Each structure stands twice: as C-alpha cells, then as structure tokens.
Amino acid sequence: MSPLTEKDRPIIQLLLSTGTCPRCVLRFCCVGSQMLYRHPHEELLKDLQKFLRNSHEEEGSVCLDVSNPPCKRLRLEPGEEGASDRNCNVAIPHLPGNICNVCLGVLQEFCEAGFVKKVCQKVNSADYQFISFVFSVSLPPQLSVRERAAWLGVKQNLGLPFPEDDIIQLKEAYKWIIHPQLSEELGVPADGKVFFSAFFFLRHILSLLFLVLDSLFYFTLQSVFTRMAVIKALEKIKEEDFLKHFPCPPSSPKNHCDALEIQCNNGAVFVAGRYNKYSRNLPQTPWIIDGERKLESSVEELISEHLMAQFKADSFNFSSSGREDVDVRTLGNGRPFAIELVNPHRIHFTTEEMRRLQQAINDSSDKIQVRDLQLVTRSAIGRMKEGEEEKTKTYSALIWTDKAIQREDITFLDDIKELKLDQKTPLRVLHRRPLAVRCRLIHTMRSEYIDEHHFRLHLKTQAGTYIKEFVHGDFGRTKPNIGSLLNRTADILELDVESVDVDWPPTLAD
C-alpha cells in the first residue's frame, strides 16, 4: 500500500485542477493499494479535496485505505463547518460528472454498477460454461497520448522528475476495480490463468491530438492509429516537440469513450481417443485437390461433427499419431488422435456423457469406430508425438509377384531381423514432403503363403516407414525392397495397419 504524502500534494493539486479523475490522480501518485481504487468515485474526490485542504498540522502521510487495522481516513462531509476556510490556495473545478482528461471516463463510467450488470448480461446471454474468468479491455490509442501529456505536465510544471514507468497502468487499475464486481455478479472468481475471457472494446473519436501526431510521424503511423503504432511514435517524439504541440496536462474532452462490443471466448478443450478405419475409400482428412473435393467424407469429419455439436465449438483442429492412406485400413486397437475444440460453449462432460458421445459417433457410420474417448489437457497431447519415430507399428500387406513363387521362396523373410532401409522421399508424396533419404528399420517379418503369385507379409517396423515403397521399390528409391529380396517384381494389393504402439491415451474400461 502506497499512502499519500506531502510530496503528492502538488501532483494532486495540478491534476485535479485540470480535470483529472481521482483514480487517475492516484495512479500518477503511484498508489498501489487495490482496495483504494474500488472506493466510490465521489468519495475518493472528497478525500483528495480534504487532503489538499488539510494544513500542515497533519504530519507524515495520509492513508486513504480501509484495511485492518484502519488508517486515518479524512472525509469532508457535506456542510462541514469551516471546511472552506482550510484551503490550499488552489481552485478545484473537477466535478463528479466531468469526463477525465486522462482516462476519458474509463475509470469513471465503465466502473459503475450499471455497466457491470450490462457486461454480465452479455456474458450470460452467450451461454458459456465456465468456473472462473478474466476480463480484458482494449483501450483507445488516444489514451497513450493523453497519459504522456499528463506525465509531461506534472514533470514540467512541478519539476518533479519521476519515471513514467512508475505510474500505475490504466488497465491494471481498471482490473483492480472491475474484477471484484464482475466476480460477485457472475458468481465465479477472476483468475488470469483460466480459460474463459471476456474482451471489452472501447473507442473514442479521433481528435486533434492524432492529427498532430500523424503530421509529426506520418512515416511511422501511416494513418493507422493502432495502440502499438501510437506507442512507437511516442517513443520517437522528443519531449520538447511534444510540449509544443500538445497541452500538458491534456485538455478536457467533450466525449467519453464508447463501448464498441463485448466478446466472450472460452479456452480450447481437448478430446482424445483411438479410431479404427474400416473403409478403403476414406481419407483421414478432407481430400481436396485444386479446390475440388475428391471424396465426400473423412475420418476427421466423421468424428468432429459430433464433438462440435455437443461442445458447441466454433472450430476444431485434428491431429493424430501418424496417418494412413485413403486405401489403408486401421485395425487392432486403433490409431491415437486428438481434437482441439476452439471456443467451446460447453466444457463440462461426465464420464457417462463422454461414453454416450462415443457411442453416437460409432452408431453414425460403419466406416470408423472410436474407443477410449476422453477429455485431456493440452500438455498431455504432447505424449502422442513424443518419440514418434522411435515407436513401432505393425502392418499386414497382401503382396503380388510377377513370377510364380513357392512357399520356400519366401520363408527366408521370417529370419530377417532389423533390416535397414534407405528410403528416398516417395514420388507420390514428393509434392508435399522435402526430398531426403530417410533411414528406417524393419524389425521383423512373418510371411503367409497364399498361392503362386500372392502372399501376405506381417511387418513390425519403425514408425515413419513407407510400407508400399518397401514392397515395390518405388523405381529403386527404396533399397532394399521386397522385389529386390525376391529377385522379381512385387507390388502391394492391400495394406492394413494392425497396431500403433503408442501408449496414449489411457485405456478406459468399457
């Protein structure tokens, strides 16, 4: 807590006389007591006026806080005898209805109970689920100019060199005031680390301040009056140039800020699970080439449409532990996936509700099935990608050969362990993957003879191995390959992913 002292008297005197509101006065006096800013505007004004009228009989500091134990808190009650006699020889024209020349009413009108109720009505009408919140405000760029003018006014008129950074930031003071009121009205605590945010946008008409600023630094602003552009321009303006063009402290405005809009936003929710894909005509993600959609659906869409509807989200982002081609099935315990649901209105789901949601996805299509559907954290998704290249995957490939084979022609494949491959980027993915030679391992193989031209090969490989290319060789871009090992032309007819050995997400009981 920073009490007011005699050194603050000239600052209070100057700023009040030029139309600065009591809360901005406290900011420029570097008062850091949050509770003090929450006192009613009129009450603070009376206390500051009383402080100015107080004679030097009061030694030390005057505290305007009401913490326990209570400080000396001076009040000027209406009609108090002799109040006007104890004057500090300064006119104090600031009235409760005046618009502050520094904050343009941000710490006045937009801290009142009526405004707080409007904000809460807007938040409640948006129909979000949340257990805590943070309230953010977008301030007009003009406030940066006015704050600089007030600081230079104090510095030049009073000869008080104090760092501009010591002034309590307007946004900080505003949150000190508004957060407790919103918390009480909404019935949840304010917490800067939480998901739900309400964004409040303020604007103010462009004034002569900006026209002069633009003329001084047109090459910096380029007529785009964003807050950052104004701040950068102010950093380049010399104090003497600023004082020539701007009244310091700033003049009183005719209009206060206008509330443009209030936007609500919930932090993302993450859902994870495993999916099986049973169709050989279904891509993992929408298949669109040159703006034309090739297939009507995808794994991503079949899962996400149900999640989007239940979570009432604006959009989503899909990720998985690897991907299969459109004609490849994913069997076994499935492929791990995660979906980020952006700005969901609903965030609370019981275990039973998640189970019903999983069932709804599975009942909607015979092309996919989902298991272990659950809510996860953002950090947990990292486990899906951790050591992805070191993980193993198991495949089953149906292989054709041009020359007839006998059972004994392929049995040697079963004895090959840790076969090292050099795989140049396949031709079929060269348009979206950089050209490189990747070293991959085939850990084990097990063959099943079918007939003279067909056999099935079960492979356990390093994740990231191109199985199709390992079979047919990709015109010699993968070495060795099944064709070179058998000394004949080989091609792959069907491919299934039998397991993705990533221990995530946790398995759930049925």
213: three-class secondary structure by DSSP: helix
Q: How far apart (Å, rounded) are the C-alpha atoms in residues 177 and 200?
A: 15
Length of the chain: 510
Q: How many CB atoms lie within 10 A of CB 194?
A: 16
In what helix (H) or strand (E) does residue 137 lie, and over which residues does it extend? strand 134-138
Instruction: Return all residues near 259 (Cβ < 8 A) that are at least 6 apart.
Output: 110, 115, 200, 201, 202
Active site residue 325: yes
CA 361 to chain centre: 28
Q: How far apart (Å, rounded) are the C-alpha atoms in residues 13 and 25?
A: 9
Q: How far apart (Å, rounded) are the C-alpha atoms in residues 324 and 295?
A: 15
How far the first Cα of the chain sits from its last, in Å, is 57
221: three-class secondary structure by DSSP: helix
Six token digits for residue 408: 């004994």
400 burial level (CB within 10 Å; 0-12, 13-18, 19+)? middle
Q: How far apart (Å, rounded) are the C-alpha atoms in residues 237 and 293?
A: 55
Q: What is the dihedral of CA 437, 441, 446, 449, to 10 degrees?
A: 10
Of 65, 191, 325, 491, the catalytic one is 325
Indicate which residues carry an active-site annotation: 325
